[in-house]
């Protein structure tokens, strides 16, 4: 899938692209954020450490690349219903019954391992900006503390998640998120609902959230029709995207 400034593609296990994807996860979650610490990590065919776990075999994986530079910009996986369940379940308290009566194990997936490269992360100065934007002028040419994570990058990933879930009968998704990121998504019109208390034993503290595809469509149709068009568009590069000039 193409957006104005990013290319998003599914990565398939056993390929070089999949190794790059797992290496990207290692760089963010293990080396930079120290959220995943293991005695050792598997190595790629080129000798680079990778981050992987038992849920990867039951997941679909996506990687976003910055078009101009070719740099990896973000990664995400969707854990599908499986015999071992979801990654969020054993790590977070989930209050039941869930807010949606028809939400069951067979139609709930999990958005997991969403990682964004440091140079594409949103800063406080981005508040109230539209989701379009030019990473070349707004990120790479500014000092580090002024670099912007473009919401278009997150929305590009969410479009792949949305289409995947709709095609596979996944009506709901869970995710463990910190409060700031959940606020960003709610601001964009994604009605995530908390389904448990904050887990103070993880850093940063996070809690489990649940989103309904139907409620998301309803929310976006009322508040952010442009974003809904972006998610559903066959050519996402033309959905509410600004005109590019040479």
Q: What is the pLDDT of residues 143-157, one digit of tens each?
A: 444 444 457 788 889
For residue 215, the enclosing domain spans: 6-238
What's the pLDDT at 73? 93
pTM of the predicted model, to two decimals? Answer: 0.84
Task: Please say if the pLDDT value at position 130 is more than 90.
Answer: no
The verdict on residue 245 lying in a domain is: no
Which residues are CB-neighbours of 121 under 8 A, at least 6 positions away?
147, 149
Q: Which ranges of 100-191 would DSSP assign to H, the alpha helix?
A: 135, 151-167, 179-187
Q: What CATH number is given to the structural domain containing 48?
A: 3.40.630.30
Q: How many CB atoms lie within 10 A of CB 33?
A: 12
The verdict on residue 37 lying in a domain is: yes
Q: What is the pLDDT of residues 51-105, one digit of tens each?
A: 999 999 999 999 999 988 899 999 999 999 999 999 999 999 999 999 999 999 9
Instruction: Look over the chain and give the mean of its residue pLDDT values, rounded to a whole number.
Output: 84
The verdict on residue 1 lying in a domain is: no
Total domains in the fold of the chain: 1
């Amino acid at each position: 899938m193409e957006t104005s400034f990013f290319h998003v593609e599914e990565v398939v296990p056993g390929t070089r692209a999949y190794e790059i994807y797992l290496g990207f996860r290692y760089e963010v979650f293990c080396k930079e954020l120290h959220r995943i610490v293991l005695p050792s990590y598997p190595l790629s065919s080129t000798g680079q450490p990778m981050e992987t776990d038992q849920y990867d075999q039951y997941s679909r994986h996506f990687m976003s690349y910055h078009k101009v530079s070719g740099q990896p910009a973000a990664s995400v996986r969707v854990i599908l219903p499986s015999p071992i369940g979801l990654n969020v379940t054993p790590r977070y308290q989930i209050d039941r019954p869930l807010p949606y009566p028809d939400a069951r194990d067979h139609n709930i997936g999990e958005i997991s391992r969403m990682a964004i490269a440091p140079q594409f992360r949103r800063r406080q100065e981005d508040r109230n900006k539209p989701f379009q934007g030019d990473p070349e002028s707004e990120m790479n040419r500014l000092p580090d503390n002024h670099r912007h994570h473009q919401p278009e990058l997150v929305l590009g990933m969410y479009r792949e998640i949305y289409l995947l879930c709709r095609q596979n009968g996944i009506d709901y998704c869970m995710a463990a998120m910190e409060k700031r990121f959940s606020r960003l998504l709610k601001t964009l019109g994604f009605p995530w609902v908390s389904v448990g208390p904050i887990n103070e034993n993880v850093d940063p503290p996070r809690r489990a959230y649940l989103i309904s595809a139907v409620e998301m469509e309803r929310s976006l149709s009322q508040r952010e029709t442009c974003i809904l068009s972006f998610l559903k568009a066959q050519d996402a590069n033309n959905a509410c995207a600004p005109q590019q000039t040479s």
